[in-house]
Structure 1
Amino acid sequence: MDTFQVIVLALIQGLTEFLPISSSAHLILPAQLLGWEDQGLSFDVAVNTGSLCAVIIYFRRELWSMFKAWGGSIFKGEHNDESKLAWWIILATIPAVIVGFAAKDFIATHLRNIEVVATTTIVFGLLLWWADRMTSKGLTEFQVGWKKALIIGVAQAMALIPGTSRSGATITAALMLGLGREAAARFSFLMSVPISLGAAILVTKDLLSSGEVIDYQALTLGIVVSFLAAYACIHVFLKLVSRIGMTPFVVYRLALGALLCVFIFA
Structure 2
Amino acid sequence: MSLIQAFILGIVQGATEFLPVSSSGHLVIFQTIFGLTQGNLLFDVTLHLGTLLAVLIYFRNEVMELISGCMKLIIRILSRKRRKLDRDEKLALLVIAGSIPTGIFGLILNKYADTLFSNITLVGFMLLITAAALYFSERYNTGERTLNNMTVADALVIGIFQGVAVMPGISRSGFTLSGSLFRGLKREWAFRFSFVLSVPAILGALLLEAKDAIGTNMNVAPFAVGMITSFISGLLFLYLLNAIVKRGKLSYFSIYCLIVGLFAIIYGFIF
TM-score (norm 2): 0.90
Q: Partners in 2 of 1:127 and 1:68 — Cα distance?
A: 33
Shift of 1:32: 4.3
Contact 1:124–1:169, Cα closer than 8 Å, also in 2: yes
* Closer, same or farther: CA 231–110 of 1 in aligned 2, 3 Å: closer
The answer on 1:143 being equivalent to 2:149 is: yes
**1:169-216 CA deviation, whole Å, 9 max, x = no partner?**
1111111110122221111111111111111111101111xx432222
Query: In 1, distance between residues paired with 2:213 and 2:38?
Result: 15
Residue number among 75, 83, 93 corresponding to 1:87 in the alignment: 93
C-alpha separation in 1, matches of 2:18 and 2:148: 21
Q: Which moved more, 1:7-16 or 1:147-156?
A: 7-16
CA contact (8 A) 2:28 2:118 kept: no
- 8 Å contact 2:13–2:230 — kept in the other structure? yes
| Distance in 2 of aligned mates of 1:181 and 1:256 | 26
Against the structure 1 CA distance between its residues 6 and 28, is the aligned structure 2 distance closer, same or farther, given a 3 Å change threshold? farther
**Hey, what does 1:6 align to over in structure 2?**
6
Partner of 1:131: 137
2:54/2:232 contact within 8 Å kept:
yes
Q: Which string of whole-angstrom CA distances, capped at 9 and with x for unpartnered residues, describes residues 115-139 of structure 1?
A: 1111101122112201111111221
Cα 1:221–1:33, aligned 2, differ >3 Å: closer, same or farther?
farther
Unpaired runs of at least 5, structure 2: none
Equivalent residue for 1:64? 64
| Cα distance in 2 between the residues matched to 1:191 and 1:95 | 12
- How far did 1:71 drift? 1.5
| Residue matched to 1:215 | 219
- Structure 1 equivalent of residue 55 of structure 2: 55
Determine if contact 1:141/1:184 at 8 Å carries over to the other structure.
Answer: no
Residues 1:26 and 1:231: Cα distance change in structure 2 (over 3 Å)? same
Secondary structure of 2:111 counterpart: helix
**CA distance change for structure 1 residues 111 and 2 in 2, over 3 Å: closer, same or farther?**
closer
RMSD across aligned C-alpha pairs, in angstroms?
1.9
Cα deviation, residue 223, structure 1: 0.4
Alignment check: 8 A CA contact 1:112 1:162 kept = no
Aligned residue pairs total 264
Equivalent residue, structure 1, for 2:236: 232
Distance 1:33 1:251, change over 3 A: same
Identity %: 33
Q: Mapping of 1:11-22 within 5 angstroms?
A: 11-22=11-22
| Alignment partners' CA distance in 1, 2:251 and 2:212 | 38
* Larger displacement relative to structure 2 (142-151 or 24-33): 24-33
Give the counterpart of 2:197 among 191, 205, 214: 191
Structure 2 residue 157 is matched with structure 1 residue 122: no
Structure 1 residue runs without a partner (length 5+): none
Change (3 A) 1:189 1:155: same
